[in-house]
Structure 1
Amino acid sequence: MFKKGRLKTLFSAAFVCFGLLVIAPGVANAASYKVVKGDSLYTISKLFNTSVSAIQSSNNIKGTVIYPGQVLNVPAATYTVKSGDSLYLIAKKHGISLDSLRKANNKWDDMIYPGQTLIIPGTSSTSAGTSSGTSTSGGNGAKAVVSYSESDVDLLARLIRAEAESQPYEAQVAVGAVVINRVQSDEWPNTIKSVIYQKIGNYYQFSPVENGWINRPATDESKKAAYAALYGSDPSNGAIFYFDDSTTNKWIWSRPIAARIGRMVYTY
């Protein structure tokens, strides 16, 4: 039997602990991440600043196979959206990039609402952007291979959708990579917008610009593919051209083939 004074002390301690739990609902050592198309244990480990083996251990995974829709426990905090919040402000508050916040939550639009719970991935000491509104770094120190703005991401994603919406995700990333490869080359314009809208003679370099398909809104998948290309993923193996394998253009078929994904062909 407890003495009255000791019982009071234990009750007070329990009340304080409960109060801490109520006051700080957004702090957690682990969060649930839903796997999306294109994910791998490696890319997830980089996003959450952990290791493949740690994810395997915490989720009782024997091999490396994961599938879209699978829910994984990852080392991350969570944050409950408050009135007046935006994705940009939340990312800034936690010292992470907007890109990593989007990736962790598979959130490619800007719509959030009070009470919504977001995953906060690993932080980075690298700035998420520059005063000009362009970005060169992502969460966990990930570096974009070229500078870009949010409008660049949207434009690149719209091109990807127009060119490869019906093709595998890897082919969509490769389309984005071709644009990035041109930006990085001395032989082409040095910005995403100028590459996509480039016109040589009377011909646009990308047919969706000419036929208007570039104006269709980007999809979540095409935005994800755009970000993947911006952060160095290149299934095209350095290609600077691509085309559908149904084309009969002899000149484009004569170029060295770098990769073939789905019905898309990528050449140097």
Structure 2
Amino acid sequence: MKLKKVILSSVLALGTFTFFFAPNGNAAGPSHVVQRGDTLWKIGIKYGVSVNELKRVNQKTSDIIYVGETLNIPQNVTAYEKDLLARLVEAEAKGEPYAGKVAVAVVVLNRVDSHLFPNSIRDVIYQKNQFTPVKNGAINQPASYESKKAVDEALAFRGQGSGSLYFYNPVKTSNTWLRAKTVTVKIGNHVFAK
């Protein structure tokens, strides 16, 4: 009887381990059954995950997907991190074009992926003297729907841009170090640079 309990416990533990971890060793997230009209880009935006990561987790070397195919959705960013990033986007890019909101979120994600900055969204956002909304408390205001959508798009776009690590409003800053960085794009009132 004791041996049966040990075997049953082992089987249950192994089953639980298999359920929570995908074959590639990543925490298993939800899955998505491909529907007509789906693209990796649309799926990435829907779940707020990088298209590159979506391809990697599903061992895809191209963007081709098939109706009825089941894709594993990677879990890279927590709900807290998405909300925090959306609140930063709202505070930094309120009144800016939608593309500018996406670009602000991309800068944060690029910093997370860079060896020059902390390696989490929270730590990048709260890094000392980096973002005015952290200093003035605007980061604590709720994000708009548009800022949340911009974060999902930035997450889907992650790893595919020009590598912007900074942004600034040239009217509001005279920082010569920042202005000396290579400009990647100008959107609205913001200059993005690396």
TM-score by length of 1: 0.47
| Residue 251 (structure 1) aligned to one of 177, 189, 193 | 177
- Which residue of structure 1 aligns with residue 186 of structure 2? 260
| Residue 231 (structure 1) aligned to one of 150, 156, 170 | 156
Whichever residue aligns with residue 179 of structure 1, its letter is V
| Residue 152 (structure 1) aligned to one of 74, 77, 81 | 81
Give the RMSD, CA atoms, in angstroms.
2.7
Alpha-carbon separation, structure 2, partners of 1:182 and 1:261:
19
TM-fit CA distance, 1:235: 9.2
Matches within 5 A, 1:188-199: 188-199=117-128
**Number of residue pairs aligned between Structure 1 and Structure 2:** 138
TM-fit CA distance, 1:236: 6.5
- Which residue of structure 1 aligns with residue 21 of structure 2? none
Cα distance per residue 1:70-95 (max 9 Å; x no partner): xxxxxxxxxxxxxxxxxxxxxxxxxx
- Which residue of structure 2 aligns with residue 6 of structure 1? none
Alpha-carbon separation, structure 1, partners of 2:102 and 2:114:
18
* Cα separation, partners in 2 of 1:236 and 1:49, compared to 1, 3 Å: closer
User: Does 2:70 match 1:125?
Assistant: yes
TM-fit CA distance, 1:124: 5.5
| Residue 173 (structure 1) aligned to one of 102, 105, 119 | 102
User: Does 2:167 match 1:242?
Assistant: yes
For residue 231 of structure 1, give the secondary structure of its aligned residue in structure 2. helix
Whichever residue aligns with residue 248 of structure 1, its letter is S
Alpha-carbon separation, structure 1, partners of 2:119 and 2:47:
27
- Which residue of structure 1 aligns with residue 5 of structure 2? none
Whichever residue aligns with residue 48 of structure 1, its letter is G
Identify unmatched segments of 5+ residues in structure 2.
1-34, 49-66
Cα distance per residue 1:218-237 (max 9 Å; x no partner): 11000010011111168962
Alpha-carbon separation, structure 2, partners of 1:220 and 1:258:
27
* Cα separation, partners in 2 of 1:191 and 1:124, compared to 1, 3 Å: farther
Alpha-carbon separation, structure 2, partners of 1:48 and 1:156:
29
Q: What is the percent sequence identity of the aligned residues?
A: 38
- Which residue of structure 2 aligns with residue 187 of structure 1? 116
TM-fit CA distance, 1:213: 0.6
| Contact 1:184–1:190 under 8 Å retained in 2 | yes
Identify unmatched segments of 5+ residues in structure 1.
1-45, 51-96, 103-121, 130-134, 136-146
Alpha-carbon separation, structure 1, partners of 2:116 and 2:186:
24
For residue 183 of structure 1, give the secondary structure of its aligned residue in structure 2. helix
Whichever residue aligns with residue 263 of structure 1, its letter is N
Q: Which deviates more, 224-233 or 150-159?
A: 224-233
Alpha-carbon separation, structure 2, partners of 1:47 and 1:171:
31
- Which residue of structure 2 aligns with residue 216 of structure 1? 141
Rg larger in 1 or in 2? 1
TM-fit CA distance, 1:208: 0.6
Of structures 1 and 2, the one with the larger relative CO (CA 8 A, separation 6+) is 2
For residue 205 of structure 1, give the secondary structure of its aligned residue in structure 2. coil
TM-fit CA distance, 1:168: 0.6
For residue 190 of structure 1, give the secondary structure of its aligned residue in structure 2. coil
TM-fit CA distance, 1:238: 1.2
**Which has the larger strand fraction?**
1
Alpha-carbon separation, structure 2, partners of 1:126 and 1:182:
28
